[in-house]
Amino acid sequence: MDLTSICLNKNACNKFGNTRQKHFGSILIARESVIPVAEDGTYDYDLAVIGGGSGGLACAKEAVNLGAKVAVLDFVTPSPQGTKWGLGGTCVNVGCIPKKLMHQAAILGESIHEAVSYGWEVPSLDSIKINWAALTESVQNHIKSVNWVTRVDLRDKKIDYINALGAFKDPHTIVGTLKNGSTKELTAKNIVIAVGGRPHYPDIPGAIEYCISSDDIFSLSNPPGKTLVVGAGYIGLECAGFLNSLGYPATVLVRSVPLRGFDQQMARMVTSEMEEKGVKFHHRCVPLSVEKLENGQLKARWTNTETGEQAEDVFDTVLMATGRYALTSALNLGAAGVKTLSESGKIIAETEQTNVPHVYAVGDVLEGRPELTPVAIHAGRLLARRMFANAAQLMDYENVATTVFTPLEYGCVGLSEEVALQRHGADAVEVYHAFYKPTEFFIPQRNIKNCYLKAVALREGPQRVLGLHFVGPVAGEVIQGFAAAVKCGITMEQLMNTVGIHPTVAEEFTRLNITKRSGKDPNPASCCS
Protein backbone atom coordinates (compact mmCIF):
# COMPACT_ATOMS: atom_id res chain seq x y z
CA MET A 1 0.00 0.00 0.00
CA ASP A 2 1.22 3.52 -0.82
CA LEU A 3 1.47 5.17 2.58
CA THR A 4 1.52 8.67 1.11
CA SER A 5 -1.79 8.20 -0.68
CA ILE A 6 -4.04 6.13 1.52
CA CYS A 7 -7.73 5.36 1.43
CA LEU A 8 -9.71 4.76 4.61
CA ASN A 9 -10.26 1.08 5.16
CA LYS A 10 -13.59 -0.44 6.16
CA ASN A 11 -12.83 -0.42 9.87
CA ALA A 12 -11.77 3.20 9.78
CA CYS A 13 -14.99 4.14 8.00
CA ASN A 14 -17.07 2.19 10.52
CA LYS A 15 -15.34 4.07 13.32
CA PHE A 16 -16.84 7.34 12.06
CA GLY A 17 -20.23 5.92 11.09
CA ASN A 18 -21.91 7.29 7.98
CA THR A 19 -19.33 9.23 6.00
CA ARG A 20 -18.98 11.11 2.78
CA GLN A 21 -15.63 11.12 1.07
CA LYS A 22 -13.61 14.22 0.25
CA HIS A 23 -10.25 14.60 -1.46
CA PHE A 24 -7.36 16.58 -0.01
CA GLY A 25 -4.53 16.45 -2.57
CA SER A 26 -3.48 12.85 -2.97
CA ILE A 27 -4.98 11.75 0.36
CA LEU A 28 -8.46 10.31 0.37
CA ILE A 29 -10.13 11.06 3.69
CA ALA A 30 -13.59 10.87 5.17
CA ARG A 31 -15.90 13.59 6.40
CA GLU A 32 -18.37 12.90 9.19
CA SER A 33 -21.97 13.84 8.60
CA VAL A 34 -22.63 13.80 12.36
CA ILE A 35 -20.07 14.82 15.01
CA PRO A 36 -18.73 11.52 16.38
CA VAL A 37 -18.52 10.53 20.00
CA ALA A 38 -15.11 9.47 21.31
CA GLU A 39 -14.71 5.70 21.27
CA ASP A 40 -14.98 5.26 25.03
CA GLY A 41 -17.40 8.16 25.47
CA THR A 42 -15.45 9.70 28.34
CA TYR A 43 -14.03 12.82 26.70
CA ASP A 44 -15.62 16.19 26.05
CA TYR A 45 -13.68 16.57 22.81
CA ASP A 46 -11.87 14.45 20.27
CA LEU A 47 -9.24 17.19 20.04
CA ALA A 48 -8.27 20.16 22.17
CA VAL A 49 -5.78 22.67 20.81
CA ILE A 50 -3.87 24.91 23.21
CA GLY A 51 -2.98 28.02 21.22
CA GLY A 52 -4.89 30.01 18.62
CA GLY A 53 -2.10 30.73 16.17
CA SER A 54 -1.71 29.59 12.58
CA GLY A 55 -0.63 26.02 13.30
CA GLY A 56 -3.19 25.32 16.00
CA LEU A 57 -6.06 26.79 14.02
CA ALA A 58 -5.11 24.89 10.87
CA CYS A 59 -5.03 21.64 12.82
CA ALA A 60 -8.37 22.38 14.49
CA LYS A 61 -10.13 23.27 11.23
CA GLU A 62 -8.82 20.21 9.44
CA ALA A 63 -9.88 17.99 12.33
CA VAL A 64 -13.42 19.37 12.19
CA ASN A 65 -13.49 18.78 8.44
CA LEU A 66 -12.78 15.15 9.28
CA GLY A 67 -15.66 14.92 11.74
CA ALA A 68 -13.89 15.54 15.03
CA LYS A 69 -15.32 17.57 17.91
CA VAL A 70 -12.75 20.29 18.64
CA ALA A 71 -12.00 23.02 21.16
CA VAL A 72 -9.38 25.76 20.88
CA LEU A 73 -8.01 27.58 23.91
CA ASP A 74 -6.21 30.85 23.31
CA PHE A 75 -5.11 33.66 25.61
CA VAL A 76 -2.64 36.49 25.06
CA THR A 77 -0.68 37.59 28.10
CA PRO A 78 0.10 41.32 27.67
CA SER A 79 3.68 42.25 26.80
CA PRO A 80 5.78 44.01 29.46
CA GLN A 81 4.59 47.27 27.88
CA GLY A 82 0.96 46.17 28.07
CA THR A 83 0.33 45.27 24.42
CA LYS A 84 -2.24 42.55 23.76
CA TRP A 85 -4.17 41.37 20.74
CA GLY A 86 -6.88 39.08 19.45
CA LEU A 87 -7.21 35.58 18.06
CA GLY A 88 -4.83 34.49 15.32
CA GLY A 89 -1.40 34.18 16.89
CA THR A 90 1.87 35.96 16.22
CA CYS A 91 1.70 36.03 12.41
CA VAL A 92 -1.59 37.86 12.14
CA ASN A 93 -1.16 40.22 15.08
CA VAL A 94 2.50 41.01 15.66
CA GLY A 95 4.38 39.15 12.96
CA CYS A 96 4.22 38.49 9.24
CA ILE A 97 1.14 40.53 8.37
CA PRO A 98 1.86 43.87 10.11
CA LYS A 99 5.56 43.51 9.21
CA LYS A 100 4.75 43.16 5.51
CA LEU A 101 2.35 46.10 5.65
CA MET A 102 4.98 48.35 7.21
CA HIS A 103 7.56 47.09 4.72
CA GLN A 104 5.12 48.03 1.96
CA ALA A 105 4.64 51.48 3.49
CA ALA A 106 8.40 51.98 3.41
CA ILE A 107 8.61 50.86 -0.24
CA LEU A 108 5.83 53.28 -1.19
CA GLY A 109 7.69 56.13 0.46
CA GLU A 110 10.76 55.43 -1.63
CA SER A 111 8.62 55.09 -4.76
CA ILE A 112 7.13 58.55 -4.29
CA HIS A 113 10.59 60.09 -4.48
CA GLU A 114 11.57 57.94 -7.46
CA ALA A 115 8.38 58.84 -9.31
CA VAL A 116 9.84 62.25 -10.20
CA SER A 117 12.48 60.59 -12.37
CA TYR A 118 9.70 58.83 -14.28
CA GLY A 119 7.97 62.11 -15.08
CA TRP A 120 5.49 62.34 -12.23
CA GLU A 121 5.10 65.86 -10.90
CA VAL A 122 5.16 65.48 -7.14
CA PRO A 123 4.89 68.81 -5.33
CA SER A 124 7.21 69.61 -2.43
CA LEU A 125 9.16 66.38 -2.07
CA ASP A 126 10.80 67.74 1.06
CA SER A 127 7.44 67.79 2.83
CA ILE A 128 6.69 64.11 2.21
CA LYS A 129 6.70 62.17 5.48
CA ILE A 130 4.91 59.29 7.12
CA ASN A 131 1.95 59.82 9.46
CA TRP A 132 2.74 57.19 12.08
CA ALA A 133 -0.69 57.36 13.72
CA ALA A 134 -2.47 56.89 10.39
CA LEU A 135 -0.17 54.00 9.46
CA THR A 136 -0.62 52.11 12.74
CA GLU A 137 -4.37 52.73 12.67
CA SER A 138 -4.64 51.22 9.18
CA VAL A 139 -2.49 48.25 10.17
CA GLN A 140 -4.44 47.61 13.38
CA ASN A 141 -7.80 47.95 11.63
CA HIS A 142 -6.76 45.24 9.19
CA ILE A 143 -5.56 43.01 12.02
CA LYS A 144 -8.84 43.44 13.92
CA SER A 145 -10.78 42.48 10.81
CA VAL A 146 -8.73 39.29 10.55
CA ASN A 147 -9.32 38.59 14.26
CA TRP A 148 -13.06 38.91 13.68
CA VAL A 149 -13.10 36.75 10.56
CA THR A 150 -11.10 34.07 12.42
CA ARG A 151 -13.60 33.98 15.28
CA VAL A 152 -16.53 33.81 12.88
CA ASP A 153 -14.82 30.99 10.99
CA LEU A 154 -14.42 28.97 14.20
CA ARG A 155 -18.08 29.56 15.04
CA ASP A 156 -19.22 28.52 11.58
CA LYS A 157 -17.17 25.35 11.78
CA LYS A 158 -18.62 24.65 15.25
CA ILE A 159 -15.20 24.75 16.91
CA ASP A 160 -15.52 25.76 20.56
CA TYR A 161 -13.31 28.79 21.11
CA ILE A 162 -12.34 29.39 24.73
CA ASN A 163 -10.53 32.63 25.54
CA ALA A 164 -8.52 31.12 28.37
CA LEU A 165 -4.94 30.27 29.27
CA GLY A 166 -4.77 26.49 29.01
CA ALA A 167 -2.67 24.16 31.18
CA PHE A 168 -2.68 20.44 31.89
CA LYS A 169 -4.34 19.00 34.98
CA ASP A 170 -3.67 15.42 33.89
CA PRO A 171 -2.85 13.73 30.56
CA HIS A 172 -6.38 14.24 29.20
CA THR A 173 -7.65 17.22 31.21
CA ILE A 174 -7.00 20.88 30.50
CA VAL A 175 -7.76 23.71 32.88
CA GLY A 176 -8.42 27.04 31.21
CA THR A 177 -7.96 30.21 33.26
CA LEU A 178 -10.20 32.97 31.98
CA LYS A 179 -9.55 36.72 32.03
CA ASN A 180 -11.58 37.17 35.23
CA GLY A 181 -9.59 34.48 37.03
CA SER A 182 -12.25 31.80 36.91
CA THR A 183 -11.40 28.39 35.48
CA LYS A 184 -12.97 25.96 33.06
CA GLU A 185 -12.05 22.29 32.77
CA LEU A 186 -12.37 20.11 29.70
CA THR A 187 -11.19 16.69 28.65
CA ALA A 188 -9.92 15.60 25.26
CA LYS A 189 -8.85 12.35 23.69
CA ASN A 190 -6.09 14.12 21.75
CA ILE A 191 -4.31 17.36 22.63
CA VAL A 192 -2.18 19.59 20.41
CA ILE A 193 0.19 22.14 21.90
CA ALA A 194 0.50 25.14 19.59
CA VAL A 195 1.37 27.98 21.96
CA GLY A 196 4.24 29.41 19.90
CA GLY A 197 6.66 31.82 21.51
CA ARG A 198 7.25 35.38 22.67
CA PRO A 199 10.22 37.78 22.46
CA HIS A 200 13.13 37.28 24.82
CA TYR A 201 14.44 40.19 26.87
CA PRO A 202 18.11 40.27 27.88
CA ASP A 203 18.87 40.32 31.59
CA ILE A 204 20.11 43.90 31.81
CA PRO A 205 18.90 46.93 33.80
CA GLY A 206 16.03 48.73 32.08
CA ALA A 207 15.21 46.10 29.47
CA ILE A 208 11.80 45.08 30.80
CA GLU A 209 10.95 48.53 32.15
CA TYR A 210 11.73 50.72 29.16
CA CYS A 211 12.20 48.64 26.01
CA ILE A 212 9.70 47.37 23.48
CA SER A 213 9.76 44.31 21.23
CA SER A 214 8.10 43.20 18.01
CA ASP A 215 5.02 42.63 20.20
CA ASP A 216 4.69 46.41 20.55
CA ILE A 217 6.15 48.14 17.49
CA PHE A 218 3.14 47.68 15.18
CA SER A 219 0.73 49.41 17.55
CA LEU A 220 3.09 51.90 19.16
CA SER A 221 1.05 54.97 20.10
CA ASN A 222 3.81 57.50 19.39
CA PRO A 223 6.26 57.65 16.46
CA PRO A 224 9.33 55.58 17.40
CA GLY A 225 11.80 58.33 16.48
CA LYS A 226 15.48 57.47 16.69
CA THR A 227 15.53 53.74 17.42
CA LEU A 228 18.09 51.26 18.71
CA VAL A 229 17.42 47.67 17.62
CA VAL A 230 19.19 45.09 19.76
CA GLY A 231 19.68 41.95 17.69
CA ALA A 232 20.38 41.23 14.03
CA GLY A 233 18.17 38.24 13.30
CA TYR A 234 15.47 38.55 10.67
CA ILE A 235 13.06 40.31 13.05
CA GLY A 236 15.67 42.86 14.08
CA LEU A 237 16.81 43.62 10.55
CA GLU A 238 13.27 43.82 9.18
CA CYS A 239 12.21 46.27 11.89
CA ALA A 240 15.36 48.38 11.51
CA GLY A 241 14.88 48.39 7.75
CA PHE A 242 11.31 49.64 7.60
CA LEU A 243 11.80 52.11 10.46
CA ASN A 244 14.77 53.69 8.74
CA SER A 245 12.94 53.84 5.41
CA LEU A 246 9.95 55.46 7.12
CA GLY A 247 12.21 58.23 8.33
CA TYR A 248 13.11 57.03 11.82
CA PRO A 249 16.93 56.65 12.14
CA ALA A 250 17.85 53.10 13.15
CA THR A 251 20.94 51.63 14.80
CA VAL A 252 21.49 47.87 15.16
CA LEU A 253 23.60 46.05 17.75
CA VAL A 254 24.97 42.82 16.24
CA ARG A 255 26.10 40.31 18.88
CA SER A 256 27.75 37.79 16.55
CA VAL A 257 26.68 37.69 12.90
CA PRO A 258 23.62 39.05 11.11
CA LEU A 259 20.95 36.54 10.07
CA ARG A 260 22.52 33.61 11.89
CA GLY A 261 21.52 30.37 10.16
CA PHE A 262 21.19 32.03 6.76
CA ASP A 263 23.81 32.09 4.01
CA GLN A 264 26.36 34.58 5.33
CA GLN A 265 27.41 35.99 1.96
CA MET A 266 23.79 36.92 1.31
CA ALA A 267 23.46 38.30 4.86
CA ARG A 268 26.36 40.63 4.18
CA MET A 269 24.62 41.83 1.02
CA VAL A 270 21.50 42.61 3.04
CA THR A 271 23.35 44.58 5.73
CA SER A 272 25.49 46.35 3.12
CA GLU A 273 22.33 47.62 1.43
CA MET A 274 20.91 48.71 4.78
CA GLU A 275 24.08 50.64 5.54
CA GLU A 276 23.86 52.30 2.13
CA LYS A 277 20.38 53.47 3.13
CA GLY A 278 21.59 54.90 6.44
CA VAL A 279 21.15 52.15 9.03
CA LYS A 280 24.04 52.11 11.50
CA PHE A 281 25.55 48.80 12.65
CA HIS A 282 27.69 48.14 15.72
CA HIS A 283 29.22 44.69 15.33
CA ARG A 284 30.22 42.34 18.14
CA CYS A 285 28.28 44.46 20.60
CA VAL A 286 25.90 43.51 23.41
CA PRO A 287 23.73 45.82 25.54
CA LEU A 288 24.68 46.68 29.12
CA SER A 289 21.80 48.85 30.30
CA VAL A 290 18.95 51.12 29.29
CA GLU A 291 18.24 54.20 31.39
CA LYS A 292 15.27 56.53 31.11
CA LEU A 293 16.22 60.22 31.14
CA GLU A 294 14.17 63.06 32.58
CA ASN A 295 13.07 64.14 29.09
CA GLY A 296 11.69 60.66 28.39
CA GLN A 297 14.47 59.56 26.07
CA LEU A 298 16.46 56.39 26.67
CA LYS A 299 20.21 56.22 27.19
CA ALA A 300 21.54 52.86 26.08
CA ARG A 301 24.98 51.52 26.90
CA TRP A 302 26.72 48.62 25.18
CA THR A 303 30.09 46.93 25.01
CA ASN A 304 32.18 45.43 22.24
CA THR A 305 32.78 41.78 23.11
CA GLU A 306 36.11 41.71 21.25
CA THR A 307 37.73 44.97 22.34
CA GLY A 308 35.95 45.51 25.64
CA GLU A 309 35.25 49.10 24.65
CA GLN A 310 31.99 50.60 25.87
CA ALA A 311 29.77 53.14 24.16
CA GLU A 312 26.47 54.87 24.73
CA ASP A 313 23.90 56.94 22.87
CA VAL A 314 20.47 58.44 23.45
CA PHE A 315 17.41 57.07 21.62
CA ASP A 316 13.67 57.61 21.57
CA THR A 317 12.95 53.89 21.36
CA VAL A 318 14.89 50.72 22.15
CA LEU A 319 13.55 47.58 20.49
CA MET A 320 14.71 44.19 21.76
CA ALA A 321 15.01 41.53 19.05
CA THR A 322 17.24 39.05 20.86
CA GLY A 323 15.36 35.87 20.04
CA ARG A 324 12.18 34.19 21.21
CA TYR A 325 11.31 31.61 23.83
CA ALA A 326 8.63 28.91 23.75
CA LEU A 327 5.57 29.41 25.97
CA THR A 328 5.75 25.99 27.62
CA SER A 329 6.52 26.90 31.24
CA ALA A 330 2.87 27.74 32.02
CA LEU A 331 1.47 24.52 30.52
CA ASN A 332 2.19 22.26 33.52
CA LEU A 333 3.56 19.67 31.11
CA GLY A 334 4.62 17.44 33.98
CA ALA A 335 0.99 16.71 34.77
CA ALA A 336 0.58 15.37 31.24
CA GLY A 337 3.80 13.36 31.41
CA VAL A 338 5.49 15.33 28.63
CA LYS A 339 9.20 15.24 29.35
CA THR A 340 10.88 15.81 26.02
CA LEU A 341 11.90 19.45 26.39
CA SER A 342 15.04 21.12 25.12
CA GLU A 343 17.18 23.46 27.21
CA SER A 344 15.31 26.39 25.67
CA GLY A 345 11.97 24.98 26.77
CA LYS A 346 10.90 23.84 23.33
CA ILE A 347 9.23 20.48 22.79
CA ILE A 348 11.22 17.75 21.09
CA ALA A 349 8.85 15.77 18.88
CA GLU A 350 10.24 14.24 15.71
CA THR A 351 6.84 13.69 14.07
CA GLU A 352 4.93 16.28 16.15
CA GLN A 353 4.12 13.47 18.62
CA THR A 354 5.57 13.88 22.12
CA ASN A 355 6.59 11.06 24.43
CA VAL A 356 2.91 10.93 25.44
CA PRO A 357 1.19 9.28 22.44
CA HIS A 358 -1.97 11.42 22.44
CA VAL A 359 -0.18 14.75 23.05
CA TYR A 360 1.26 16.53 20.01
CA ALA A 361 2.91 19.86 19.21
CA VAL A 362 3.08 22.02 16.09
CA GLY A 363 4.62 25.34 15.13
CA ASP A 364 7.22 27.51 16.81
CA VAL A 365 7.01 25.55 20.06
CA LEU A 366 8.88 22.66 18.41
CA GLU A 367 12.64 22.32 18.76
CA GLY A 368 14.72 22.53 15.61
CA ARG A 369 11.88 23.41 13.25
CA PRO A 370 11.58 26.51 11.05
CA GLU A 371 9.66 29.22 12.90
CA LEU A 372 7.49 30.04 9.91
CA THR A 373 3.72 30.34 9.62
CA PRO A 374 3.27 28.17 6.49
CA VAL A 375 5.32 25.43 8.16
CA ALA A 376 3.01 25.41 11.18
CA ILE A 377 -0.10 25.45 9.00
CA HIS A 378 0.97 22.55 6.79
CA ALA A 379 2.23 20.50 9.74
CA GLY A 380 -1.04 21.11 11.59
CA ARG A 381 -3.17 19.95 8.68
CA LEU A 382 -1.11 16.82 8.09
CA LEU A 383 -1.24 16.02 11.80
CA ALA A 384 -5.05 16.28 11.85
CA ARG A 385 -5.24 13.91 8.88
CA ARG A 386 -3.05 11.38 10.66
CA MET A 387 -5.18 11.61 13.80
CA PHE A 388 -8.62 11.47 12.20
CA ALA A 389 -8.26 10.10 8.66
CA ASN A 390 -5.70 7.30 9.04
CA ALA A 391 -3.37 9.25 6.76
CA ALA A 392 0.35 8.61 6.97
CA GLN A 393 2.00 11.63 5.36
CA LEU A 394 4.52 13.37 7.62
CA MET A 395 5.63 16.98 7.46
CA ASP A 396 8.76 17.45 5.35
CA TYR A 397 10.83 20.19 6.96
CA GLU A 398 13.50 20.18 4.26
CA ASN A 399 13.73 22.79 1.50
CA VAL A 400 11.34 25.24 3.11
CA ALA A 401 11.52 28.63 1.39
CA THR A 402 11.54 31.91 3.30
CA THR A 403 12.15 35.61 2.77
CA VAL A 404 13.63 38.34 4.93
CA PHE A 405 11.71 41.55 4.20
CA THR A 406 14.58 43.98 4.55
CA PRO A 407 14.78 47.08 2.29
CA LEU A 408 16.39 44.87 -0.36
CA GLU A 409 14.67 41.55 0.24
CA TYR A 410 16.46 38.23 0.65
CA GLY A 411 14.69 35.05 -0.42
CA CYS A 412 16.11 31.54 -0.18
CA VAL A 413 15.25 27.88 -0.32
CA GLY A 414 17.41 24.87 0.49
CA LEU A 415 20.96 24.79 1.82
CA SER A 416 23.22 27.75 2.42
CA GLU A 417 26.63 27.63 0.80
CA GLU A 418 28.22 27.01 4.21
CA VAL A 419 25.98 24.05 5.04
CA ALA A 420 26.34 22.55 1.57
CA LEU A 421 30.14 22.63 1.84
CA GLN A 422 29.98 21.15 5.31
CA ARG A 423 27.70 18.29 4.28
CA HIS A 424 29.15 17.42 0.88
CA GLY A 425 32.69 18.82 0.85
CA ALA A 426 34.21 21.59 -1.28
CA ASP A 427 35.08 19.26 -4.16
CA ALA A 428 31.49 18.02 -4.46
CA VAL A 429 29.78 21.43 -4.52
CA GLU A 430 29.50 23.92 -7.38
CA VAL A 431 28.24 27.46 -6.79
CA TYR A 432 26.83 29.45 -9.69
CA HIS A 433 26.49 33.17 -9.07
CA ALA A 434 25.80 36.53 -10.69
CA PHE A 435 25.21 40.19 -10.06
CA TYR A 436 22.35 41.65 -12.06
CA LYS A 437 20.67 44.93 -12.97
CA PRO A 438 16.93 45.15 -12.24
CA THR A 439 15.23 47.12 -14.98
CA GLU A 440 13.30 49.09 -12.36
CA PHE A 441 16.62 50.35 -10.98
CA PHE A 442 17.60 52.07 -14.24
CA ILE A 443 15.38 55.15 -13.72
CA PRO A 444 16.50 56.66 -11.46
CA GLN A 445 19.93 55.10 -11.22
CA ARG A 446 19.76 53.11 -8.01
CA ASN A 447 22.50 51.23 -6.22
CA ILE A 448 22.77 47.75 -7.74
CA LYS A 449 25.94 46.48 -6.11
CA ASN A 450 23.97 44.27 -3.71
CA CYS A 451 21.63 42.77 -6.33
CA TYR A 452 23.03 39.26 -6.34
CA LEU A 453 21.93 35.65 -6.60
CA LYS A 454 23.45 32.20 -6.50
CA ALA A 455 22.61 28.55 -6.93
CA VAL A 456 24.34 25.96 -4.75
CA ALA A 457 24.47 22.61 -6.52
CA LEU A 458 26.21 19.27 -6.58
CA ARG A 459 29.20 19.40 -8.91
CA GLU A 460 28.59 16.00 -10.45
CA GLY A 461 26.09 15.94 -13.33
CA PRO A 462 23.24 16.57 -13.70
CA GLN A 463 24.07 18.92 -10.81
CA ARG A 464 21.06 18.72 -8.52
CA VAL A 465 20.32 22.11 -6.96
CA LEU A 466 20.82 22.15 -3.20
CA GLY A 467 19.91 25.78 -2.56
CA LEU A 468 18.85 28.99 -4.28
CA HIS A 469 19.54 32.45 -2.85
CA PHE A 470 18.35 35.83 -4.12
CA VAL A 471 18.82 39.39 -2.87
CA GLY A 472 16.74 41.93 -4.73
CA PRO A 473 13.26 43.34 -5.39
CA VAL A 474 10.24 41.15 -4.54
CA ALA A 475 12.51 38.30 -3.45
CA GLY A 476 9.63 36.50 -1.79
CA GLU A 477 7.63 36.37 -5.00
CA VAL A 478 10.71 35.23 -6.94
CA ILE A 479 11.77 32.44 -4.63
CA GLN A 480 8.30 30.96 -4.12
CA GLY A 481 8.08 29.50 -7.63
CA PHE A 482 11.61 28.17 -7.57
CA ALA A 483 10.91 26.54 -4.21
CA ALA A 484 8.55 24.09 -5.91
CA ALA A 485 11.27 23.29 -8.45
CA VAL A 486 13.84 22.64 -5.72
CA LYS A 487 11.31 20.43 -3.92
CA CYS A 488 10.98 18.43 -7.14
CA GLY A 489 14.77 18.00 -7.45
CA ILE A 490 15.57 20.52 -10.18
CA THR A 491 19.05 20.35 -11.68
CA MET A 492 21.28 23.11 -13.03
CA GLU A 493 20.80 21.66 -16.51
CA GLN A 494 17.04 22.06 -16.19
CA LEU A 495 17.40 25.53 -14.72
CA MET A 496 19.67 26.70 -17.54
CA ASN A 497 17.29 25.27 -20.14
CA THR A 498 14.34 27.17 -18.68
CA VAL A 499 13.43 30.20 -20.77
CA GLY A 500 13.04 33.27 -18.60
CA ILE A 501 10.44 36.03 -18.71
CA HIS A 502 12.13 39.24 -19.83
CA PRO A 503 12.57 41.70 -18.28
CA THR A 504 12.07 40.30 -14.78
CA VAL A 505 14.42 39.78 -11.88
CA ALA A 506 13.26 36.16 -11.56
CA GLU A 507 14.71 35.31 -14.98
CA GLU A 508 18.20 35.84 -13.57
CA PHE A 509 18.09 32.30 -12.18
CA THR A 510 17.70 30.95 -15.72
CA ARG A 511 20.75 32.92 -16.87
CA LEU A 512 23.20 31.57 -14.29
CA ASN A 513 26.28 30.15 -15.99
CA ILE A 514 29.36 31.41 -14.11
CA THR A 515 30.77 29.41 -11.24
CA LYS A 516 32.78 30.73 -8.33
CA ARG A 517 35.34 28.04 -9.07
CA SER A 518 35.99 29.54 -12.53
CA GLY A 519 37.01 32.91 -11.12
CA LYS A 520 35.22 34.70 -13.97
CA ASP A 521 33.54 38.08 -13.52
CA PRO A 522 29.90 37.49 -12.46
CA ASN A 523 28.79 40.99 -13.51
CA PRO A 524 26.51 41.13 -16.58
CA ALA A 525 27.66 42.99 -19.70
CA SER A 526 24.14 44.33 -20.33
CA CYS A 527 20.53 43.76 -19.34
CA CYS A 528 20.11 41.27 -22.19
CA SER A 529 23.44 39.46 -22.02
**Residues 6+ positions from 351 with CB-CB distance below 8 Å:** 394, 395
Q: Hey, how many other C-beta atoms are within 10 angstroms of the C-beta on 357?
A: 9
- The pTM of this model reads 0.90
Tell me if residue 502 is catalytic. Answer: yes
Residues linked to residue 292 through DSSP beta bridges, in sequence order: 298
Q: What pLDDT was estimated at residue 300?
A: 98
DSSP 8-state assignment for residue 499: P
What percent of the chain has pLDDT above 70?
A: 91
Return the number of other C-beta atoms located less than 10 Å from residue 13's C-beta. 15
How many CA atoms within 13 Å lie on the side-chain side of 391? 26
Contact criterion met (CB below 8 Å) for 408 and 238: no
Lowest mean pLDDT among 104-108, 277-281, 508-512, 525-529: 525-529
Average pLDDT rounded to a whole number, residues 69-79 = 97
CB atoms closer than 10 angstroms to residue 386: 19
pLDDT confidence of residue 127: 84
Examine the pLDDT at 528 and tell me if it is beyond 80.
no
d(CA 520, CA 523): 9
Dihedral, 302, 307, 309, 313 alpha carbons, nearest 10: -40
CA 55/CA 398 separation, integer angstroms = 18
Model pLDDT for residues 408-451, shown as the tens digit of each residue = 999 999 999 999 999 999 999 999 999 999 999 999 889 899 99
pLDDT at 340 over 60: yes
pLDDT in tens, 245-293: 999 999 999 999 999 999 999 999 999 999 999 999 999 999 999 999 9
Q: Kindly list the distances between the CA atom of residue 12 and the CA atoms of 189, 281, 326, in Å, as whole numbers in the listed order.
A: 17, 59, 36
Give the CATH superfamily of 207-321. Answer: FAD/NAD(P)-binding domain (3.50.50.60)
The CATH class of the 408-511 domain is alpha beta
Cβ count near 223 (within 10 Å): 19
pLDDT in tens, 452-463: 999 999 999 999
Residue 13 has pLDDT above 70, yes or no: no
Distance of CA 183 to the CA centre of its chain: 32
Question: Is residue 355's pLDDT more than 50?
Answer: yes
Question: What top-level class would CATH report for the domain 10-75+163-199+325-388?
Answer: alpha beta
Confidence of residue 130 (pLDDT cuts 50, 70, 90): very high
CB burial class (10 A; 0-12, 13-18, 19+) of residue 147?
middle
List pLDDT tens digits, range 477-494: 999 999 999 999 999 999
Q: CB–CB of 211/290 below 8 Å? A: yes
Strands (E), 120-182: 160-162, 164-170, 173-178
| Range name among 37-46, 62-71, 394-403, 424-433 with the lowest pLDDT average | 37-46
- Rounded to an integer, the average pLDDT of 122-144 is 94
* Residue 418 amino acid letter: E
Confidence of residue 509 (pLDDT cuts 50, 70, 90): very high
Q: Mean pLDDT over residues 229-253, rounded?
A: 98
DSSP state of 485: H
Spell out the residues 6+ positions from residue 160 whose beta carbon is closer than 8 angstroms to its own: 45, 70, 71, 72
CA distance 97 to 84: 16
What is the average per-residue pLDDT within 200-208?
A: 97
Q: Is the pLDDT higher at 501 or at 25?
A: 501
Q: What is the pLDDT of residue 526?
A: 64
Query: How confident is the model at residue 147, as a pLDDT?
Result: 97
Looking at this protein, which amino acid is placed at residue 413?
V
For residue 469, give the H/E element and its range.
Answer: strand 465-471
Give residues with Cβ within 8 angstroms of 142, minimum separation 6.
97, 101
Q: Judging by DSSP bridges, how do beta strands 250-254 and 429-435 pair with one another?
A: unpaired
* Beta strand 324-326 pairing with 197-199: antiparallel
Residue 287 identity: P
**Average pLDDT, stretch 32-56?**
75
Provide the 8-state DSSP code for 79. Answer: P
Checking if the pLDDT of 2 tops 80, the result is: no
DSSP-derived letter for residue 353 is B
- CA–CA separation, 160 and 45 (whole Å): 10
The pLDDT value recorded for residue 20 is 32
What pLDDT sits at residue 527?
Answer: 60
Residue 33 has pLDDT above 60, yes or no: no
Band (36; pLDDT cuts 50, 70, 90): very low
Dist. CA 30–CA 34, nearest whole Å? 12
Residue 95: HSE in the Cβ half-sphere, 13 Å Cα cutoff: 19
Classify strands 452-458 and 465-471 as parallel, antiparallel or unpaired. Answer: antiparallel
**Structural domain boundaries in the chain:** 10-75+163-199+325-388, 207-321, 408-511
- Between 524 and 182, name the one with better pLDDT: 182
Please return the burial class of 102, using the count of CB atoms within 10 Å of its CB with bins 0-12, 13-18 and 19+: buried
User: Bridge-partner residues for 265, per DSSP?
Assistant: none
pLDDT (0 to 100) of residue 40: 53
Average pLDDT, the chain: 92
Handedness of CA 248, 254, 260, 265 (dihedral sign): positive
Three-state secondary structure call for residue 252: strand
Residue 189: other Cβ atoms inside 10 A: 19
408-511 has the same fold as 10-75+163-199+325-388: no
User: Is residue 412 a contact partner of residue 509, using CB atoms and an 8 Å limit?
Assistant: no
AA letter at 10:
K
